[in-house]
Structure 1
Amino acid sequence: MWIIILIFLLLILCWLFIAPLELEVDTRIPEASLRWTSIGRANVSYQNETWWLNLRVLFFHKQWDLEKLIFRTKKKKKTRKRGYKKEVSKKGSRARKFLNVVKTFRVTKWQIAVDTGDVTKNAWLYALNFTPHTRRHLHINFTDENYMLLVIRNSPWKLAYAFLKK
């Protein structure tokens, strides 16, 4: 009986470690969402002249007014003097770890539509629509359409491995 429970808990932990994280930013509808597949989702959206933070984790759902959440009055904390010296860390290793973590992210989808408002500039930039690396991703247009869509994916195990790697 205990072995079955332990195996079940181990499977849940493994799923938490390999379930993909996905960040999606879409400016056509003012919304950004961070989704942890089958576990939870956090959305920041603009509705009815206010910014909202929606959080849904498994069966829990909560919505906050983002402006009130950020600018609420905070209690003052008493400051204490430290009696010990801070350890000096190597800044190069922090930067290397940060770069290793950033390298684990993968851009799965991106689209940018640009209208500069000047017909001449748009005409000069229009050739970018047909370059091999930006085809179907960059849209220079003459229709007053400006937006960005960005989808980035990662997994927690990749983040942990990159952070712990020397």
Structure 2
Amino acid sequence: MEEQIGGNDDRWKGSIDNITEMASNLDSLQKLLLKKAVFVEEDTFARASLVSEQSRTIKVLEQRVQTLERELDAAITAAAHARSEKRHAESSQKAAESRAQEVTKELENTTKVFKLHMEELRGMQEQILKRDNEIKLLEAIIQTLGGKERLGKSGANG
């Protein structure tokens, strides 16, 4: 407990020393200001204050202009990038449309070739059917003739 009391005393003593030193510094500063102080007329002081305020305003406005210039540069860059992407998309779209036209034309050509082949196959099928009928007719004639020959041979042998 005595250690705590002793510690508190040291802290208070240090705080008082700091306050005393700050008071001494303040006195020195006050003396310096009195020696170096320049007194001006109210009008001159008002103009100087106005100039100082305008200077601060100009500095703030310059910073704002710089910020806006950076934002403008970023917007210009973004717009250029967007235009580039748009041109790329348009180019891709034209290529896709061209490819679609090629595929459509190829399909139309394939359809025409398919129709020609179908007509050719129908023509061949008709020829096959016609020849098949001719073969059946010839077979019937052969059977008929072959049957008469057999009859004639049977009657002569019998």
Give the TM-score normalised by structure 2. 0.19
Give the TM-score normalised by structure 1. 0.19
User: If you compute each CA radius of gyration, which structure gives the higher value, 1 or 2?
Assistant: 2
Normalized per residue, the structure richer in strand is 1
Normalized per residue, the structure richer in helix is 2
